[in-house]
A and B are shown apart, each in its own frame.
Chain A
Amino acid sequence: MTTPLLKVENLRIALAGDGVTYDAVENVSFEIGRGEAFGLVGESGCGKSITALSVMGLLRRPLSLAGGRVILDGKEIQNVSAAEMRRLRGKRIAMIFQEPMTALNPLSPVGRQIAEMFVLHQGANWNEAMDRAEDALRQVRVPSPERRIKDYPHQLSGGMRQRVMIAIALACGPDLLVADEPTTALDVTVQAEIIDLMAELCAAKGTAVLMISHDLGLVANMCQRVAVMYAGRIVESQVADAIFAAPTHPYTQGLIDSLPRLGERARRGRQKLREISGVVPSIANYPAGCRFNPRCPAVTEVCRSVVPEATPLPAEGVVRCHHHG
């Protein structure tokens, strides 16, 4: 078996609050193979974005890495120096954020922001780098790139800005692209285009993707494998197609059943949507045992006291539920 490109092992992220420390992320483990697209799905506050930030070495106070390992291509990177991490970021691992307007520098033309990648990481001179920036814009299908390289971010639409972000992220041909809700701020038809573009470019360059989203459907379409997070833990991870066909964790089942599905009403008439009762717990009040237990339809005594172990699934993947099998 070849070594995975990225291996995250028992990741623990601490959140420092008023004199108390909470575990914002606990025992999160996953692997991403070379060229593979892996999705991390969950609701706001479940810890998916900070998991991505920890891979990038971008956790800042009050968040800190409290345990676990992040291994890129066989090398532990969770404790490397700031200077070395800077060299890795952009070159080996790159990131796209949700809101391109706040992620781009508003005072710098977009061509320059792309060209900077070639200058910093590949030692190119600025003239050469600007030519390559134009090519990069062409690759992400920005129309008339020769004019657009001189534009500032505010002169571009949301979709165009996200294309610029993708151009910057993929400029140096990274091994891993971390995409945190890359299309949430965009309109649905634009979202579809951006996802297609990302998938196509990453496949062409052999770039692996860690995709973070709250949209299970989006992730399942783009990724080969998916992990579902709830309240700081991975509750289930599976092959993308399998997660819809046979979700095993009650939370995953609830999520899939609770959303109105296109075409369902025509097939079966309007059914009342299955609700997940209760609310997402806040980090200060995570319940003992399985954190989904107060909302779970299958809850029993053991769920309230014992944290479920990760149980391997018959095909591929794991589930953390006492009542599986």
Chain B
Amino acid sequence: MAESLLSLDGLAVHFKVGNALAGGIKTLKAVDGVTLDVKPGECLGLVGESGCGKSTLALAIMGLLPPTRGTIGIDGHQISGSTPPDRMKMARTVQMVFQDPYASLNPRQTVRRTLADPLRLHGITDKAEVETRVIDMMAKVGLRPEQADRYPHEFSGGQRQRIGIARALILKPKLVLCDEPVSALDVSIRAQIINLLLELKDDMGLAYIMISHDLGVVEHVSDRVAVMYLGRIVEQGGWQEIFENPRHPYTRALIAAIPDPFHRAAISADAKARGEIASALNPPPGCHFNPRCPLRADICTAEYPAFGEVSPGHRAACHFRDRVS
């Protein structure tokens, strides 16, 4: 079995929110005990609704938020609450592609500068080498060399996302966190960017964490999938297992909620979730999903279910994971 590139062990990121004088300080458990690993060259799809903690998880892996508990191991480095990350070293291993290509590029920097700065910061100062690597990278993401001196506003959304991808890959990282990389783009442009990300993955041997709420995209690109709900992973497994044999009612609700006319009625309407995601400040007792769950029983309000194995590599945190759909 291949060595993990990324391994999270019981990772928790908590925030103190509120005011000691008005209402008191509460703990928001944005990420609460996440254990998972990513192998080199693998794509892990991370799925969940807003507020489930997936972006906090990404920021912690980037070294931008200190863990409250647990550890993050990346390519031999260990990060925990007491050992802060060496961001410079990590930048060569982990990079990120952001959702909004309008907000994530510096409007006052040309493409060349956006791509060359990381190289120079990391000690590649030979002008000819910098130039070659910038132009090579631009070609890889489908930009022409003469576009190097243009500014972000001169590009369309899809091209800007290509620049964002080039910036993430210029240091040849091993792991790229893609946070909703296509959801801000026009529908007719998305396929271009998804195809590009998959090509580059094979080409450069990258591992991805693909954060998305679009299950169609996740199924298309992922090798394995993790589903998050209120700060915890509730189901994890190979992509085919998750989509064809989902065992957590939340995963089933997500799949049932997709308005796909080709897939209509594949999962019955009673798989749908009721109500809305609870506040992470005040999660319900027992299984966090119980107020919305069609399978709820007494045990669900009493204890949080174990993250038990369904089949090798496929786990689900549900008391009824063995009840076949």
Could you tell me which A residues sit within 8 Å of B by CB distance? Answer: 43-44, 157-160, 187-193, 195-196, 214-215, 217-218, 220-222, 240-241, 244, 251, 254-255, 258-266, 270, 272-277, 279-280, 295
CB contact list, B200-231 vs A, under 8 A? 213, 215-217, 219-221
Interface centre among A195, A221, A264, A273 (most CB of B within 10 A): A273
Give min CB distance, A159 to chain B, whole Å. 5
For the A-B complex, the count of residue pairs with Cβ-Cβ distances under 8 Å equals 128
Set A158, A192, A214, A215: member contacting B256, Cβ < 8 A: A192
Residues of B within 8 A of A265 (CB): 219-220, 239
Q: Assess the B257–A262 pair: CB atoms within 8 A.
A: no
> How far, in angstroms, from A263 to B260 measured CA to CA in the complex?
10
A192 with B187: in contact, given A260-B217, A262-B219 (CB under 8 Å)?
no
Set A215, A221, A261: member contacting B264, Cβ < 8 A: A221
CB contact list, B246-300 vs A, under 8 A? 253-264, 266, 272-274, 276-277, 292
Chain B, 179-211, contact with A by CB distance < 8 Å: what is the 0/1 string?
000000011111110110010000000000000
Residues of A within 8 A of B158 (CB): 279
User: In the complex, which residue of chain B has the Cβ closest to the Cβ of A143?
Assistant: B275
Residues of A within 8 A of B259 (CB): 192, 195, 215, 217-218, 220-222
Q: Assess the B261–A258 pair: CB atoms within 8 A.
A: no
Q: Assess the B194–A260 pair: CB atoms within 8 A.
A: yes
Set A189, A274, A280: member contacting B49, Cβ < 8 A: A189
Could you tell me which B residues sit within 8 Å of A by CB distance? Answer: 49-50, 156, 158-159, 186-192, 194-195, 198, 213, 215-217, 219-221, 239-240, 243-244, 253-264, 266, 272-274, 276-277, 292
Further contacts, 8 of them, CB under 8 A, given A193-B274, A221-B261, A259-B187: A43-B188, A189-B253, A189-B272, A189-B277, A254-B188, A260-B220, A262-B262, A266-B243
Set B215, B217, B262, B272: member contacting A244, Cβ < 8 A: B262
> How far, in angstroms, from A85 to B254 measured CA to CA in the complex?
41
Would you give 15 A-B contacts (Cβ < 8 Å), ordered by A? A157-B276, A187-B49, A189-B254, A189-B272, A189-B277, A215-B259, A221-B261, A251-B188, A255-B187, A259-B216, A260-B216, A261-B262, A263-B243, A266-B240, A272-B198
> How far, in angstroms, from A261 to B187 measured CA to CA in the complex?
14
Give min CB distance, A216 to chain B, whole Å. 8
Residues of B within 8 A of A189 (CB): 49, 253-254, 257, 272-273, 276-277, 292
Residues of B within 8 A of A214 (CB): 187
Residues of A within 8 A of B216 (CB): 259-262
Q: Assess the B261–A244 pair: CB atoms within 8 A.
A: yes
Give min CB distance, B267 to chain A, whole Å. 10
Shortest beta-carbon contacts, A-B, top 6 = A260-B220, A258-B191, A187-B49, A192-B257, A273-B191, A218-B259
Residues of A within 8 A of B274 (CB): 193
Q: Assess the A262–B255 pair: CB atoms within 8 A.
A: yes
> How far, in angstroms, from A295 to B156 measured CA to CA in the complex?
15
User: In the complex, which residue of chain B has the Cβ closest to the Cβ of A243?
Assistant: B261
